[in-house]
Protein backbone atom coordinates (compact mmCIF):
# COMPACT_ATOMS: atom_id res chain seq x y z
CA UNK A 1 0.00 0.00 0.00
CA UNK A 2 1.40 3.38 -0.93
CA UNK A 3 2.23 5.55 2.10
CA UNK A 4 2.15 8.87 0.25
CA UNK A 5 -1.15 9.50 -1.55
CA UNK A 6 -1.28 8.94 -5.32
CA UNK A 7 -1.43 12.29 -7.11
CA UNK A 8 -3.09 12.29 -10.50
CA UNK A 9 -2.80 14.68 -13.42
CA UNK A 10 -6.09 16.37 -12.58
CA UNK A 11 -4.99 16.90 -8.94
CA UNK A 12 -2.09 19.08 -10.08
CA UNK A 13 -2.14 22.81 -10.82
CA UNK A 14 -2.35 23.41 -14.59
CA UNK A 15 1.33 24.39 -14.84
CA UNK A 16 2.38 21.01 -13.41
CA UNK A 17 -0.01 18.74 -15.31
CA UNK A 18 2.44 18.01 -18.14
CA UNK A 19 4.56 16.17 -15.55
CA UNK A 20 2.01 13.36 -15.62
CA UNK A 21 2.12 12.75 -19.38
CA UNK A 22 3.11 9.22 -18.38
CA UNK A 23 0.88 7.99 -15.57
CA UNK A 24 3.26 5.63 -13.77
CA UNK A 25 3.46 4.57 -10.13
CA UNK A 26 6.71 6.43 -9.45
CA UNK A 27 5.36 9.72 -10.80
CA UNK A 28 2.09 9.41 -8.88
CA UNK A 29 3.92 9.50 -5.56
CA UNK A 30 6.63 11.97 -6.59
CA UNK A 31 3.88 14.34 -7.80
CA UNK A 32 3.17 15.14 -4.16
CA UNK A 33 6.13 17.47 -4.70
CA UNK A 34 5.85 18.63 -8.34
CA UNK A 35 9.26 20.27 -8.35
CA UNK A 36 10.88 17.11 -7.02
CA UNK A 37 9.13 15.17 -9.79
CA UNK A 38 10.36 17.68 -12.38
CA UNK A 39 13.94 17.35 -11.14
CA UNK A 40 13.69 13.56 -11.04
CA UNK A 41 12.32 13.47 -14.58
CA UNK A 42 15.13 15.73 -15.76
CA UNK A 43 17.77 13.24 -14.70
CA UNK A 44 15.69 10.31 -15.97
CA UNK A 45 15.40 12.03 -19.37
CA UNK A 46 19.14 12.65 -19.49
CA UNK A 47 19.87 9.01 -18.71
CA UNK A 48 17.56 7.72 -21.42
CA UNK A 49 17.94 10.33 -24.14
CA UNK A 50 20.89 12.63 -23.29
CA UNK A 51 23.66 10.21 -22.41
CA UNK A 52 25.71 8.60 -25.16
CA UNK A 53 26.37 5.54 -23.01
CA UNK A 54 25.55 2.28 -24.84
CA UNK A 55 21.75 1.93 -24.50
CA UNK A 56 21.73 -1.84 -24.03
CA UNK A 57 24.33 -1.68 -21.25
CA UNK A 58 22.43 1.16 -19.62
CA UNK A 59 19.18 -0.84 -19.62
CA UNK A 60 20.92 -3.97 -18.33
CA UNK A 61 22.40 -1.94 -15.46
CA UNK A 62 18.90 -0.67 -14.60
CA UNK A 63 17.44 -4.18 -14.79
CA UNK A 64 20.19 -5.50 -12.57
CA UNK A 65 19.34 -2.92 -9.91
CA UNK A 66 15.64 -3.87 -10.17
CA UNK A 67 16.47 -7.56 -9.84
CA UNK A 68 18.82 -7.17 -6.88
CA UNK A 69 16.40 -4.84 -5.11
CA UNK A 70 13.62 -7.36 -5.81
CA UNK A 71 11.51 -4.44 -7.03
CA UNK A 72 8.61 -5.91 -9.03
CA UNK A 73 7.62 -2.61 -10.58
CA UNK A 74 11.13 -1.61 -11.73
CA UNK A 75 11.73 -5.09 -13.07
CA UNK A 76 8.57 -5.57 -15.11
CA UNK A 77 8.51 -1.96 -16.37
CA UNK A 78 12.14 -2.06 -17.50
CA UNK A 79 12.01 -5.48 -19.17
CA UNK A 80 9.71 -3.85 -21.72
CA UNK A 81 11.77 -0.66 -22.02
CA UNK A 82 15.03 -2.63 -22.18
CA UNK A 83 13.79 -4.56 -25.18
CA UNK A 84 13.08 -1.30 -26.98
CA UNK A 85 16.78 -0.50 -26.50
CA UNK A 86 18.36 -3.76 -27.65
CA UNK A 87 18.18 -6.00 -24.58
CA UNK A 88 17.33 -9.55 -25.66
CA UNK A 89 15.59 -12.38 -23.82
CA UNK A 90 18.96 -14.18 -23.78
CA UNK A 91 20.51 -11.12 -22.05
CA UNK A 92 17.85 -11.26 -19.34
CA UNK A 93 18.28 -14.98 -18.71
CA UNK A 94 22.04 -14.38 -18.55
CA UNK A 95 21.56 -11.50 -16.09
CA UNK A 96 19.52 -13.72 -13.77
CA UNK A 97 21.99 -16.59 -14.09
CA UNK A 98 24.98 -14.30 -13.45
CA UNK A 99 23.28 -12.81 -10.37
CA UNK A 100 22.70 -16.30 -9.02
CA UNK A 101 26.30 -17.31 -9.70
CA UNK A 102 25.32 -19.74 -12.48
CA UNK A 103 27.22 -19.86 -15.79
CA UNK A 104 26.08 -17.14 -18.18
CA UNK A 105 27.12 -16.20 -21.68
CA UNK A 106 28.09 -12.56 -21.26
CA UNK A 107 30.92 -10.52 -22.72
CA UNK A 108 33.44 -8.97 -20.34
CA UNK A 109 32.02 -5.44 -20.40
CA UNK A 110 28.44 -6.55 -19.81
CA UNK A 111 29.52 -8.73 -16.91
CA UNK A 112 31.43 -5.80 -15.35
CA UNK A 113 28.45 -3.44 -15.74
CA UNK A 114 26.16 -5.96 -14.04
CA UNK A 115 28.68 -6.49 -11.26
CA UNK A 116 28.95 -2.72 -10.72
CA UNK A 117 25.16 -2.43 -10.54
CA UNK A 118 24.96 -5.29 -8.02
CA UNK A 119 27.69 -3.81 -5.84
CA UNK A 120 26.09 -0.36 -5.87
CA UNK A 121 22.63 -1.78 -5.10
CA UNK A 122 23.99 -3.87 -2.23
CA UNK A 123 25.94 -0.84 -0.89
CA UNK A 124 28.00 1.01 -0.03
CA UNK A 125 29.13 1.41 -3.66
CA UNK A 126 31.04 -0.01 -6.61
CA UNK A 127 34.22 -1.72 -5.38
CA UNK A 128 37.66 -0.36 -6.30
CA UNK A 129 38.47 -3.45 -8.36
CA UNK A 130 35.27 -3.28 -10.43
CA UNK A 131 35.63 0.46 -10.93
CA UNK A 132 39.19 0.10 -12.20
CA UNK A 133 38.25 -2.78 -14.49
CA UNK A 134 35.42 -0.70 -15.98
CA UNK A 135 37.76 2.24 -16.62
CA UNK A 136 39.61 0.12 -19.14
CA UNK A 137 36.44 0.13 -21.27
CA UNK A 138 34.81 3.53 -20.65
CA UNK A 139 36.07 7.11 -20.85
CA UNK A 140 35.42 9.46 -17.93
CA UNK A 141 32.19 10.77 -19.43
CA UNK A 142 30.72 7.30 -19.83
CA UNK A 143 32.02 6.19 -16.43
CA UNK A 144 30.15 9.14 -14.94
CA UNK A 145 27.00 8.37 -16.91
CA UNK A 146 27.14 4.71 -15.90
CA UNK A 147 27.48 5.56 -12.20
CA UNK A 148 24.73 8.18 -12.48
CA UNK A 149 22.46 5.60 -14.14
CA UNK A 150 23.10 2.91 -11.56
CA UNK A 151 22.78 5.18 -8.54
CA UNK A 152 19.71 6.96 -9.94
CA UNK A 153 17.91 3.63 -10.22
CA UNK A 154 19.12 2.63 -6.76
CA UNK A 155 17.36 5.82 -5.62
CA UNK A 156 14.23 4.90 -7.60
CA UNK A 157 13.94 1.44 -6.04
CA UNK A 158 14.65 2.79 -2.55
CA UNK A 159 12.07 5.53 -3.03
CA UNK A 160 9.44 3.04 -4.20
CA UNK A 161 10.27 0.63 -1.39
CA UNK A 162 9.98 3.44 1.19
CA UNK A 163 6.66 4.54 -0.25
CA UNK A 164 5.27 1.05 -0.57
CA UNK A 165 5.93 0.04 3.02
CA UNK A 166 9.10 -1.74 1.98
CA UNK A 167 7.12 -4.01 -0.35
CA UNK A 168 9.45 -6.12 -2.43
CA UNK A 169 9.21 -9.48 -4.09
CA UNK A 170 8.84 -11.89 -1.23
CA UNK A 171 8.46 -15.24 -2.93
CA UNK A 172 4.81 -15.51 -1.88
CA UNK A 173 4.17 -17.85 -4.82
CA UNK A 174 7.44 -19.76 -4.78
CA UNK A 175 6.92 -23.32 -5.95
CA UNK A 176 3.47 -22.66 -7.41
CA UNK A 177 2.57 -23.46 -11.00
CA UNK A 178 0.08 -20.89 -12.32
CA UNK A 179 -1.82 -20.65 -15.61
CA UNK A 180 -3.13 -17.32 -16.93
CA UNK A 181 -5.46 -16.71 -19.88
CA UNK A 182 -5.58 -13.40 -21.79
CA UNK A 183 -2.14 -12.50 -20.48
CA UNK A 184 -1.11 -10.42 -23.49
CA UNK A 185 -2.22 -7.09 -22.07
CA UNK A 186 -4.26 -5.45 -19.33
CA UNK A 187 -4.89 -7.28 -16.08
CA UNK A 188 -3.88 -10.72 -17.38
CA UNK A 189 -0.42 -9.46 -18.28
CA UNK A 190 -0.04 -7.47 -15.06
CA UNK A 191 -1.09 -10.53 -13.05
CA UNK A 192 1.36 -12.81 -14.89
CA UNK A 193 4.21 -10.38 -14.14
CA UNK A 194 3.17 -9.84 -10.52
CA UNK A 195 2.90 -13.58 -9.89
CA UNK A 196 6.24 -14.30 -11.56
CA UNK A 197 7.78 -11.51 -9.48
CA UNK A 198 6.50 -13.33 -6.38
CA UNK A 199 8.33 -16.46 -7.45
CA UNK A 200 5.45 -18.25 -9.23
CA UNK A 201 6.15 -20.50 -12.20
CA UNK A 202 3.74 -18.79 -14.59
CA UNK A 203 2.36 -20.01 -17.92
CA UNK A 204 0.94 -16.98 -19.74
CA UNK A 205 -1.39 -17.51 -22.69
CA UNK A 206 -3.27 -15.26 -25.07
CA UNK A 207 -5.12 -15.58 -28.36
CA UNK A 208 -2.70 -13.08 -29.85
CA UNK A 209 0.80 -14.50 -29.34
CA UNK A 210 2.47 -11.24 -30.39
CA UNK A 211 1.11 -9.58 -27.25
CA UNK A 212 2.99 -12.07 -25.08
CA UNK A 213 6.37 -10.71 -26.15
CA UNK A 214 8.55 -9.54 -23.28
CA UNK A 215 7.03 -11.95 -20.77
CA UNK A 216 9.54 -14.73 -21.38
CA UNK A 217 12.23 -12.31 -20.29
CA UNK A 218 10.57 -12.12 -16.88
CA UNK A 219 10.90 -15.89 -16.60
CA UNK A 220 7.34 -16.58 -17.80
CA UNK A 221 6.46 -19.45 -20.15
CA UNK A 222 4.27 -18.20 -23.00
CA UNK A 223 1.89 -19.97 -25.39
CA UNK A 224 -0.72 -18.88 -27.90
CA UNK A 225 -4.16 -20.02 -26.74
CA UNK A 226 -7.61 -19.05 -27.93
CA UNK A 227 -9.88 -20.02 -25.04
CA UNK A 228 -12.76 -20.49 -27.48
CA UNK A 229 -10.99 -23.58 -28.84
CA UNK A 230 -12.00 -26.40 -26.44
CA UNK A 231 -9.41 -28.89 -27.70
CA UNK A 232 -6.58 -26.37 -27.50
CA UNK A 233 -7.67 -25.38 -23.97
CA UNK A 234 -7.59 -28.98 -22.78
CA UNK A 235 -4.18 -29.51 -24.40
CA UNK A 236 -2.64 -26.32 -23.02
CA UNK A 237 -3.96 -26.65 -19.47
CA UNK A 238 -3.15 -30.35 -19.22
CA UNK A 239 0.37 -29.97 -20.52
CA UNK A 240 1.07 -27.00 -18.21
CA UNK A 241 -0.22 -28.80 -15.15
CA UNK A 242 -0.70 -29.92 -12.52
CA UNK A 243 -1.56 -26.37 -11.57
CA UNK A 244 -1.61 -24.73 -8.17
CA UNK A 245 -3.52 -21.72 -9.42
CA UNK A 246 -5.46 -20.62 -12.48
CA UNK A 247 -6.28 -17.02 -13.41
CA UNK A 248 -9.21 -17.26 -15.82
CA UNK A 249 -9.01 -13.73 -17.17
CA UNK A 250 -10.24 -13.75 -20.78
CA UNK A 251 -13.38 -11.74 -21.47
CA UNK A 252 -14.88 -9.13 -23.75
CA UNK A 253 -16.87 -6.01 -22.85
CA UNK A 254 -19.79 -5.37 -25.20
CA UNK A 255 -21.44 -1.98 -24.89
CA UNK A 256 -25.17 -2.58 -25.47
CA UNK A 257 -28.66 -2.62 -23.98
CA UNK A 258 -31.43 -5.25 -24.14
CA UNK A 259 -32.65 -3.48 -27.27
CA UNK A 260 -29.35 -3.06 -29.10
CA UNK A 261 -27.76 -6.42 -28.22
CA UNK A 262 -27.68 -8.71 -31.26
CA UNK A 263 -27.88 -12.51 -31.25
CA UNK A 264 -24.25 -12.54 -32.33
CA UNK A 265 -23.28 -10.30 -29.36
CA UNK A 266 -25.17 -12.57 -26.98
CA UNK A 267 -23.62 -15.78 -28.32
CA UNK A 268 -20.10 -14.37 -28.41
CA UNK A 269 -20.31 -12.88 -24.91
CA UNK A 270 -21.57 -16.12 -23.40
CA UNK A 271 -19.08 -18.21 -25.37
CA UNK A 272 -16.09 -16.17 -24.22
CA UNK A 273 -17.04 -14.74 -20.83
CA UNK A 274 -18.83 -17.80 -19.46
CA UNK A 275 -18.46 -21.02 -21.47
CA UNK A 276 -14.72 -20.67 -22.08
CA UNK A 277 -14.19 -19.88 -18.41
CA UNK A 278 -15.96 -23.14 -17.56
CA UNK A 279 -13.89 -25.11 -20.09
CA UNK A 280 -10.59 -23.72 -18.78
CA UNK A 281 -11.38 -24.40 -15.14
CA UNK A 282 -12.79 -27.83 -15.96
CA UNK A 283 -9.47 -28.71 -17.61
CA UNK A 284 -7.53 -27.52 -14.55
CA UNK A 285 -9.72 -29.09 -11.88
CA UNK A 286 -9.07 -32.88 -12.01
CA UNK A 287 -5.38 -32.70 -10.98
CA UNK A 288 -6.24 -30.06 -8.37
CA UNK A 289 -8.84 -32.40 -6.88
CA UNK A 290 -6.40 -35.33 -7.01
CA UNK A 291 -3.74 -33.32 -5.18
CA UNK A 292 -6.34 -31.74 -2.88
CA UNK A 293 -5.07 -28.24 -3.54
CA UNK A 294 -5.57 -25.44 -6.01
CA UNK A 295 -6.90 -21.92 -6.34
CA UNK A 296 -9.11 -20.87 -9.24
CA UNK A 297 -9.48 -17.16 -9.80
CA UNK A 298 -12.13 -16.03 -12.27
CA UNK A 299 -12.49 -12.57 -13.76
CA UNK A 300 -15.95 -11.16 -13.09
CA UNK A 301 -16.78 -7.44 -12.82
CA UNK A 302 -18.50 -5.03 -10.47
CA UNK A 303 -20.85 -4.49 -13.44
CA UNK A 304 -23.46 -7.26 -13.42
CA UNK A 305 -25.04 -8.63 -10.27
CA UNK A 306 -23.15 -6.24 -7.96
CA UNK A 307 -23.98 -3.06 -9.85
CA UNK A 308 -26.30 -2.48 -12.77
CA UNK A 309 -24.22 -0.47 -15.22
CA UNK A 310 -25.76 1.40 -18.14
CA UNK A 311 -25.02 0.06 -21.61
CA UNK A 312 -23.56 -3.18 -20.22
CA UNK A 313 -26.53 -5.49 -20.89
CA UNK A 314 -24.93 -8.69 -22.15
CA UNK A 315 -21.61 -7.98 -20.43
CA UNK A 316 -23.26 -7.53 -17.02
CA UNK A 317 -25.35 -10.64 -17.61
CA UNK A 318 -22.28 -12.75 -18.36
CA UNK A 319 -20.27 -11.34 -15.45
CA UNK A 320 -23.17 -12.10 -13.09
CA UNK A 321 -22.97 -15.65 -14.45
CA UNK A 322 -19.24 -15.74 -13.64
CA UNK A 323 -20.01 -14.94 -10.01
CA UNK A 324 -22.64 -17.70 -9.99
CA UNK A 325 -20.19 -20.15 -11.58
CA UNK A 326 -17.52 -19.19 -9.02
CA UNK A 327 -19.81 -19.89 -6.09
CA UNK A 328 -21.03 -23.16 -7.63
CA UNK A 329 -17.48 -24.43 -8.20
CA UNK A 330 -16.48 -23.31 -4.70
CA UNK A 331 -19.39 -25.21 -3.19
CA UNK A 332 -18.52 -28.38 -5.13
CA UNK A 333 -14.82 -28.32 -4.28
CA UNK A 334 -14.63 -26.79 -0.80
CA UNK A 335 -14.34 -30.14 0.95
CA UNK A 336 -11.62 -31.30 -1.45
CA UNK A 337 -8.99 -28.63 -0.85
CA UNK A 338 -9.73 -26.51 -3.91
CA UNK A 339 -10.81 -22.86 -3.71
CA UNK A 340 -12.58 -20.74 -6.29
CA UNK A 341 -12.96 -16.96 -6.04
CA UNK A 342 -13.44 -14.14 -8.49
CA UNK A 343 -12.52 -10.49 -8.88
CA UNK A 344 -15.13 -7.83 -9.45
CA UNK A 345 -13.18 -4.77 -10.61
CA UNK A 346 -14.44 -1.29 -11.30
CA UNK A 347 -12.93 0.57 -14.24
CA UNK A 348 -9.33 -0.33 -14.98
CA UNK A 349 -7.00 1.52 -17.33
CA UNK A 350 -6.27 -1.20 -19.90
CA UNK A 351 -5.97 -1.17 -23.72
CA UNK A 352 -9.55 -2.34 -24.23
CA UNK A 353 -10.83 0.45 -21.97
CA UNK A 354 -9.18 2.89 -24.37
CA UNK A 355 -11.14 1.24 -27.20
CA UNK A 356 -14.39 1.70 -25.24
CA UNK A 357 -13.54 5.31 -24.44
CA UNK A 358 -12.85 5.91 -28.14
CA UNK A 359 -16.09 4.16 -29.14
CA UNK A 360 -18.07 6.53 -26.88
CA UNK A 361 -16.13 9.65 -27.88
CA UNK A 362 -18.55 10.96 -30.48
CA UNK A 363 -21.58 10.65 -28.21
CA UNK A 364 -19.66 12.14 -25.24
CA UNK A 365 -18.28 15.12 -27.18
CA UNK A 366 -14.71 13.97 -27.63
CA UNK A 367 -12.16 11.45 -26.29
CA UNK A 368 -11.32 13.45 -23.14
CA UNK A 369 -15.01 13.94 -22.28
CA UNK A 370 -15.59 10.23 -22.80
CA UNK A 371 -12.61 9.36 -20.58
CA UNK A 372 -13.84 11.82 -17.94
CA UNK A 373 -17.22 10.04 -17.88
CA UNK A 374 -15.50 6.69 -17.16
CA UNK A 375 -13.41 8.31 -14.42
CA UNK A 376 -16.45 10.00 -12.91
CA UNK A 377 -18.01 6.57 -12.24
CA UNK A 378 -15.30 5.81 -9.68
CA UNK A 379 -15.98 7.60 -6.39
CA UNK A 380 -12.20 7.91 -5.92
CA UNK A 381 -12.11 10.01 -9.08
CA UNK A 382 -9.58 7.89 -10.91
CA UNK A 383 -9.18 4.69 -12.89
CA UNK A 384 -7.41 1.69 -11.37
CA UNK A 385 -4.04 0.68 -12.77
CA UNK A 386 -3.80 -3.00 -13.80
CA UNK A 387 -0.77 -3.36 -11.50
CA UNK A 388 -2.60 -2.30 -8.34
CA UNK A 389 -5.70 -4.29 -9.26
CA UNK A 390 -3.92 -7.61 -9.70
CA UNK A 391 -2.39 -7.62 -6.22
CA UNK A 392 -5.60 -9.41 -5.26
CA UNK A 393 -4.79 -12.12 -7.82
CA UNK A 394 -1.42 -12.67 -6.14
CA UNK A 395 -3.20 -12.92 -2.79
CA UNK A 396 -5.85 -15.34 -4.08
CA UNK A 397 -3.22 -17.54 -5.76
CA UNK A 398 -1.15 -17.65 -2.57
CA UNK A 399 -1.73 -19.62 0.62
CA UNK A 400 -2.39 -16.32 2.39
CA UNK A 401 -6.00 -16.65 1.20
CA UNK A 402 -6.30 -20.31 2.28
CA UNK A 403 -9.53 -19.74 4.25
CA UNK A 404 -11.29 -17.91 1.45
CA UNK A 405 -13.52 -19.45 -1.21
CA UNK A 406 -16.64 -18.60 -3.19
CA UNK A 407 -16.09 -14.85 -2.90
CA UNK A 408 -16.47 -12.05 -5.41
CA UNK A 409 -13.86 -9.49 -4.34
CA UNK A 410 -15.01 -6.01 -5.29
CA UNK A 411 -12.19 -3.56 -6.08
CA UNK A 412 -13.88 -0.60 -7.66
CA UNK A 413 -12.59 2.73 -6.31
CA UNK A 414 -15.90 3.17 -4.52
CA UNK A 415 -18.13 2.71 -7.60
CA UNK A 416 -20.57 0.50 -5.70
CA UNK A 417 -20.55 2.50 -2.43
P1 LIG B 1 -7.98 -6.20 -22.37
O2 LIG B 1 -9.44 -6.32 -22.64
O3 LIG B 1 -7.32 -4.93 -22.74
O4 LIG B 1 -7.19 -7.39 -23.06
C5 LIG B 1 -7.82 -8.62 -23.23
C6 LIG B 1 -6.82 -9.67 -23.71
O7 LIG B 1 -7.60 -10.84 -23.97
C8 LIG B 1 -6.11 -9.34 -25.00
O9 LIG B 1 -4.72 -9.55 -24.85
C10 LIG B 1 -6.72 -10.30 -26.02
O11 LIG B 1 -5.79 -10.69 -27.03
C12 LIG B 1 -7.11 -11.47 -25.13
N13 LIG B 1 -8.18 -12.30 -25.70
C14 LIG B 1 -9.28 -11.89 -26.34
N15 LIG B 1 -10.00 -12.94 -26.75
C16 LIG B 1 -9.32 -14.05 -26.35
C17 LIG B 1 -9.53 -15.44 -26.50
N18 LIG B 1 -10.59 -15.89 -27.18
N19 LIG B 1 -8.64 -16.30 -25.97
C20 LIG B 1 -7.55 -15.84 -25.31
N21 LIG B 1 -7.27 -14.52 -25.17
C22 LIG B 1 -8.15 -13.64 -25.68
O23 LIG B 1 -7.70 -6.54 -20.82
P24 LIG B 1 -8.55 -6.13 -19.53
O25 LIG B 1 -9.30 -4.87 -19.75
O26 LIG B 1 -7.61 -6.26 -18.40
O27 LIG B 1 -9.68 -7.27 -19.43
C28 LIG B 1 -9.39 -8.56 -18.93
C29 LIG B 1 -10.62 -9.09 -18.22
O30 LIG B 1 -11.00 -8.18 -17.18
C31 LIG B 1 -11.86 -9.29 -19.08
O32 LIG B 1 -12.51 -10.48 -18.67
C33 LIG B 1 -12.72 -8.09 -18.73
O34 LIG B 1 -14.09 -8.34 -18.90
C35 LIG B 1 -12.39 -7.92 -17.28
N36 LIG B 1 -12.66 -6.60 -16.70
C37 LIG B 1 -12.10 -5.47 -17.24
C38 LIG B 1 -12.35 -4.25 -16.64
C39 LIG B 1 -11.72 -2.98 -17.15
O40 LIG B 1 -12.18 -1.90 -16.77
N41 LIG B 1 -10.72 -3.04 -17.99
C42 LIG B 1 -13.16 -4.16 -15.50
C43 LIG B 1 -13.71 -5.33 -14.98
C44 LIG B 1 -13.44 -6.54 -15.58
DSSP string, 31-88: TTSHHHHHHHHHHHHIIIII--S-HHHHHHHHHHHHHHTT-HHHHHHHHHHHHHTT--
Ligand 1 atom at shortest distance from the alpha carbon of 384: 40
Nearest CA-CA partner of 313 in 250, 377, 255: 255
Kindly tell me the burial class for residue 128, based on how many C-beta atoms sit within 10 Å of its own C-beta (0-12, 13-18, 19 or more). Answer: exposed
Ligand 1 centre distance from Cα of residue 373 (Å): 21
| Closest ligand 1 atom to 225 CA | 20
What is the DSSP code string of 238-290?
HHH-S-SEEEE-------B-TTT--HHHHHHHIIIIIIHHHHHHHHHHHHHHH
Going from N- to C-terminal start, the domains of the chain cover 51-163, 177-411
Q: Which residues of 312-346 are buried (b: 16+ CB within 10 A; e: fewer)?
A: bbbbbbbbbbbbbbbbebbeebeeeebbbbbbbbb
Residue 252 appears among annotated catalytic residues:
no
Query: What residues line ligand 1, using a CB cutoff of 6 Å?
Result: 181-182, 184-188, 206-208, 211, 225-228, 249-251, 253, 272, 299, 301, 345, 347-348, 350-353, 386
Whole-number Å distance, alpha carbon 31 to ligand 1 midpoint, is 30
Residue 49 CA, ligand 1 centroid: distance in Å? 34
Is 51-163 in CATH node 3.40.50? no
Topology adopted by domain 177-411: Rossmann fold (3.40.50)
Per-residue pLDDT of the chain (417 residues; tens, 9 = 90+): 567 888 888 899 999 999 998 877 788 889 999 999 999 999 999 999 999 999 999 999 999 998 887 766 667 677 778 888 999 878 888 888 888 788 889 999 999 999 999 999 988 899 999 999 999 999 999 999 999 999 999 998 888 878 865 445 567 888 899 999 999 999 999 999 999 988 899 999 999 999 998 888 778 899 999 999 999 999 999 999 899 999 999 999 999 999 999 999 999 999 999 999 999 999 999 999 999 999 999 999 999 999 999 999 999 999 999 999 999 999 999 999 999 999 999 999 999 999 999 999 999 999 999 999 999 988 999 999 999 999 999 999 999 999 999 999 999 999 999
Report the atom number in ligand 1 closest to the C-alpha of 253.
Answer: 34
Question: What is the reported pLDDT for 74?
Answer: 67
User: Quick one: which atom of ligand 1 is closest to the CA of 272?
Assistant: 18
Predicted pLDDT of residue 368:
92
pTM beyond 0.75, yes or no: no
Backbone angles phi, psi at 223, to 5 degrees: -145, 145
Maximum pairwise Cα distance, the chain: 74
- Determine the 3-state secondary structure of 295 from DSSP: strand
266 by Cβ neighbours in 10 Å (0-12 / 13-18 / 19+) ranks as middle
- Side-chain-facing half-sphere of 396: CA atoms under 13 Å: 26
- For ligand 1, atom 16: residue with the closest CA: 207
Task: Give the whole-angstrom CA distance, residue 157 versus residue 121.
Answer: 9
pLDDT the model gives residue 128: 96
- pLDDT for 178 equals 97
- Cα–Cα distance list, 244 to 118, 202, 213 (Å): 33, 10, 24
Long-range CB pairs of 93-96 (<8 Å, 24+ gap) are: 93/217, 95/60, 95/63, 95/64, 95/67, 96/67, 96/219
Catalytic residue among 73, 153, 315, 395: 315
Amino acid sequence: MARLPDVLREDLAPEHQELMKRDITLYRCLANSPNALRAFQGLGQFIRYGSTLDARLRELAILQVGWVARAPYEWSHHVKIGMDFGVTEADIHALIADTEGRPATLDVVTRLVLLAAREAAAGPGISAATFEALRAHFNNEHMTDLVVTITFYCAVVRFLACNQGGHTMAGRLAGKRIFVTAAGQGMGRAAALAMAAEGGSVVATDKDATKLSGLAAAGIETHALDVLDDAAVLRAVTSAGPLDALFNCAGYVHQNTALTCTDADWDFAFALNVRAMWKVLAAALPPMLDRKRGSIINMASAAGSIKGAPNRFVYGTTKAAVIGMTRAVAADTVAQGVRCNCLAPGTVDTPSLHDRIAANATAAGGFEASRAAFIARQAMGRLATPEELVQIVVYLASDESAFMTGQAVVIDGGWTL
